[in-house]
Amino acid sequence: MLRYLAQRLLIAIPTLLGVSLLVFSMVRLLPGDPVDFIVAHSSHAVALDRDLIRHELGLDLPGPLQYFHFLGRVLRGDLGTAIMFHQPVGQLIARELPYTVRLTAFAMTLVTLFGFTLGITAALKPNSRLDSAVMATAVLGVSMPEFWVGMLFILAFCIKLEWFPILGPESLRILFLPALVLALRSTAIIARMLRSSLLEVMCEDYIRTARSKGLRERIVVMKHAMRNALLPVLTLMGLQLGGLLGGTVIIENVFARHGIGYLALNAILQRDYPLTQGIVLVMAVIFVVINLVVDIVYSYVNPRIRYG
């Protein structure tokens, strides 16, 4: 296991280098100039020297040299200083990340609860009206844009019915609605995958053998079928968790919440190169760690899988 972890960490290094190079290049291809933003939002705009600002930000250097300076700071644990906040990027991310983690964790809890319930229910009643209703709901959940659903939910549940507050201190009531909207798409995907995986496993010989022993259907499904049906679902859940983190960019802005997503969108709109690069790099590291954890969980779900 340790050898496998070391191999995966070595593979992650070029992946993260590629991400850093990609985001460094992409933010500089966006139209606009961070110097224009600084001048436009300064009370001393007339006296500001654009060339001096560009020199202080290191934007007067050739592109490859800027990248190597950025990479050198990252290797020292320094993500730079945010242009619009004049604060270290690491501090800003550390301040906003807990909001996003709480939202994502709550959304993933809803995905697991509803996705597994719908998937198992549909698999136990294949080709029934219940199965058709669950799959139709799943298709609807995948098809609806998150920003539209979010605004619809705010109008219905916050303004019209007043069941949930729009703004306020962090609490389960504040978290529930954005987490639910964030979880809808992933819930539908997990439900469909679990249903397909369970239906495939339920046709295996060992399932028929378990039934012939007189075991209850609940025990057959939960103890014998679920263990093998979970493997593709776990892979998908790891990917969906990364998708939920990315989805916070939309949800946090629709619901006006603090978090990495809200910070990222504002950094992109204001051409804050250091902050955008730092956020994307941190999210990439989190995604790599999530995939590594999912791979490790495989060996516990299915003892036949061993890493050497």
Mean pLDDT, rounded, for 293-307: 67
Q: Is residue 5 part of a domain?
A: no
Residues 175 and 42 in one domain: no
pLDDT at 213 over 90: no
Which of 50-54, 88-92, 257-261 is the least confident region?
Answer: 50-54
Pair of tokens at residue 285? 């590291």
- Between CA 193 and CA 230 the distance in angstroms is 9
Q: Is residue 3 part of a domain?
A: no
pLDDT at 219 over 60: yes
Residues 47 and 106 in one domain: no
Query: What tens digit of pLDDT does each residue of 179-196 get?
Result: 999 998 899 899 888 888
At 306 the pLDDT is 59
Regarding predicted confidence, which is higher, 188 or 235? 188
Range of the domain at 40: 34-78
Q: Is residue 57 part of a domain?
A: yes
pLDDT at 46 over 70: no
Residues 189 and 283 in one domain: yes
Regarding predicted confidence, which is higher, 251 or 31? 251
Write down how long the chain is.
Answer: 308
Pair of tokens at residue 173? 């009531």
Q: Is residue 20 part of a domain?
A: no
Going by pLDDT thresholds of 50, 70 and 90, the confidence category of residue 167 is: confident
Residues 173 and 242 in one domain: yes
Contact 39, 50 (CB under 8 A): yes
Mean pLDDT, rounded, for 84-105: 90
Q: Is residue 23 part of a domain?
A: no
pLDDT at 47 over 60: no
Q: What is the SS3 assignment for 91?
A: helix
At 211 the pLDDT is 78
Residues 102 and 60 in one domain: no
Residues 67 and 150 in one domain: no
Query: What tens digit of pLDDT does each residue of 113-159 get?
Result: 999 988 888 888 888 888 888 888 888 888 888 888 889 999 998 88
DSSP secondary structure letter of residue 167: S
Q: Could you give the angle at the alpha carbon of 197 between the alpha carbons of 193 and 202, nearest 5°? A: 150
Residues 250 and 165 in one domain: yes
Q: Is residue 86 part of a domain?
A: no
Give the best-scoring range by mean pLDDT among 26-35, 59-68, 214-223.
Answer: 59-68
Report percent pLDDT > 70 for the chain. 93
At 95 the pLDDT is 92
At 113 the pLDDT is 92
At 235 the pLDDT is 80
